[in-house]
Chain A
Amino acid sequence: MGSLSLKDVHKSFGDVDVLKGINLDVEDGEFVIFVGPSGCGKSTLLRIIAGLEDETSGSIEIDDAVVNALPPTKRGIAMVFQTYALYPHLTVRDNMSLGMKQAKRPAAEIKSRVDLASSMLALDEYLDRRPAELSGGQRQRVAIGRAIVRKPELFLFDEPLSNLDAALRVNTRLEIARLHRQLAATMIYVTHDQTEAMTLADRIVVLHDGRIEQVGTPMELYNAPANKFVAGFIGSPQMNFIPAQILGDDEAATIGIRPEHIKLSPDGGKLKGTVSHIEQLGGDTNVYLDYGQADLISVRLFGQHEFEVESKLSADFDAKQSFRFDADGNTIV
């Protein structure tokens, strides 16, 4: 009761192709996250699913019914916006119930659903306030509450945490994860933050330039990226890409190694460099090595380590934990 199927969805604004053939199936109850850099088309895709934007071609099916021609309100969706988009002149209760009032549902049903949503989100004491009297985190909870009240087949989240500060972001992230378990609803979530994607998603869809680069569980994407773009996008700090000829590999164009898979020693490793910068995070230490190429090698060490800037170090890694990419950026298996 909440599946989604996209078939060859294209979208162009004038001459600019924003989406170039998106095919995707989302199963009932799944938490799917669209992730990608700015301008990759992820928000446009979400808007097309919501019906706020018309697709140029292709079909959108929700629960096996084609919804291309349906207006947003008839698609059985609810959406949470980055800017919260609460109605400023309505109280929290009226904000949450407007959709159902508009659908002419009985007052008792509206009240019980609003009360349920507000108790799930700890909003009971704010029901009679207006959005201007709430903090950012509370506003976003109201926006989520407004979505829950609609009992949608499909929840759509458009970068819901981007306007919150770091601490609230973590809390709200946990809250969304809890809601997903509680409601067992299908959720589609757009973000440019790969940490959100890794922590929340059942499956991640990586978008780049209007195309899907790879679809998979967070660990599939981490352990077996299909290409250099996905490898670079998933994981933080970013994967190191080293020209293959430096490492004596003639078949591949680039070798990718994650910063956490590199070991440092005074000498004897595969790569030699000088320490250019150190970041002490307490739990982790990030070391940046200059090895004579345009990029630095970033190394993530666990625990606390001390290195002198400008000191010479050598970096080593296990070939099994590295990735090989061909000239087109595809992973060589």
Chain B
Amino acid sequence: MSTRSNVSASLASSISMRAVAAHAVLITYTLIALFPVAVILINSFKTRKAIFRSPLSLPDSESFSLVGYETVMKQGDFILYFQNSLIVTVVSLTMVLLFGAMAAFALAEYRFRLNLLTGLYLALGIMIPIRLGTVAILQMMVASGLVNTLTALILVYTAQGLPLAIFILSEFMQGISDDLKNAGRIDGLSEYRIFLRLVLPLIRPAMATVAVFTMIPIWNDLWFPLILAPAEEVKTVTLGAQVFIGQFVTNWNAVLASLSLAIVPVLVLYVIFSKQLIKGITSGAVK
């Protein structure tokens, strides 16, 4: 009896040791990941001098200042930039998810000639960065008169997001039982309804995962807005923040304030997807 309780006690302590170790690793990682974000947030509320004097200290009554946010609100049309960024991100995301899921469904569900090759071709984009094609893309956009439009950005980002979306979603689609789809066919559901009503709800966690992976690079991108849509009325937030970074003088208050503001919308979208995302990550592990 006593040996058994000893064994279970040592078992329990080894489990708790492991839990402590795991948490230590995770907390360390979280701190490292959050550190730059925290620095940006803290310093966006400080005076210029305080930023440089002690970048890591919290704003106090002396160093607290909203001058960065005031500059951002006054200079440049940041509401418009936000609007542009949101339109580009949300529309691209919707198109990536819709077309990605449709392509994945076709690849996973139907047997046709060149099925495997088509899948590989679509997945190739994961390995080849779309930026390699920038010159050709710019030429195409000039030729089709899409330069300085949000449409140009949306098209590029949709193309950029599709390969990974198709790759991940088709893996998940293959996991959905054929019997379920066949039951739908017998009940008289059309292929579209099977896709929309049976398959999409079941791969919702995977869709959320893809949404997060797709959304963040689009929101953060500076390259394509700079090249394809630099005009004032189509600027995105990341491009808009660049007006404060000069060759000789940089308005750090304004840069930090605009970056802090830029975090908010992604954060909101992330919170919306995160519940589903966690389900997606653990879906393979816990059945």
Which residue, A77, A85, A158, has most C-beta atoms of chain B within 10 A? A85
Measured between alpha carbons, how far is A150 from B185 in the docked complex, in Å?
13
Does any Cβ of A come within 8 Å of B202's Cβ? yes
Does any Cβ of A come within 8 Å of B177's Cβ? yes
**Cβ 8 A contact of B185, one of A73, A78, A89, A103:** A73
Contacting pair B177 A71 (CB below 8 A): no
Closest to B198 in A: A87
Measured between alpha carbons, how far is A73 from B177 in the docked complex, in Å?
19
Q: Please give the number of chain B residues whose Cβ is less than 8 angstroms from any Cβ of chain A in the complex.
A: 14
Residues in A neighbouring B180, C-beta threshold 8 A: 83, 85-87
Smallest CB–CB gap between B110 and chain A, Å?
13
**Cβ 8 A contact of B182, one of A81, A89, A103:** A81
Contacting pair A89 B186 (CB below 8 A): no
Residues in B neighbouring A50, C-beta threshold 8 A: 182, 186
Does any Cβ of A come within 8 Å of B60's Cβ? no
| Chain A positions 71 through 101: 1 when the CB is less than 8 Å from some CB of chain B, otherwise 0 | 1110001110111111111000000001100
Contacting pair B182 A79 (CB below 8 A): yes
Give chain A interface residues in 40-56, CB to chain B under 8 Å. 47, 50, 52
Closest to B189 in A: A102
| Chain B positions 161 through 203: 1 when the CB is less than 8 Å from some CB of chain A, otherwise 0 | 0000000000000000101101111111100000000100110
Size category of the A interface is 20 to 34
Residues in B neighbouring A72, C-beta threshold 8 A: 182, 185-186
Which residue, B177, B179, B198, has most C-beta atoms of chain A within 10 A? B179
Measured between alpha carbons, how far is A321 from B201 in the docked complex, in Å?
59
Smallest CB–CB gap between A159 and chain B, Å?
11
Residues in B neighbouring A87, C-beta threshold 8 A: 180, 183-184, 198
Contacting pair A102 B188 (CB below 8 A): yes
Contacting pair B202 A99 (CB below 8 A): no
A85 with B179: in contact, given A73-B185, A99-B188 (CB under 8 Å)?
yes
Residues in B neighbouring A88, C-beta threshold 8 A: 201-202
Contacting pair A82 B179 (CB below 8 A): yes
A81 with B187: in contact, given A87-B198, A88-B202, A89-B201 (CB under 8 Å)?
no
Contacts A/B (CB < 8 Å), 23 sampled: A50-B182, A50-B186, A52-B185, A72-B182, A73-B185, A73-B186, A77-B186, A78-B186, A81-B179, A81-B182, A81-B183, A84-B179, A85-B177, A85-B179, A85-B183, A86-B183, A87-B183, A98-B189, A102-B187, A102-B188, A103-B188, A150-B187, A158-B179
Q: List the 7 shortest-distance A-B pairs measured between CB atoms, nearest first.
A: A73-B188, A85-B179, A99-B187, A81-B179, A102-B188, A85-B183, A72-B186
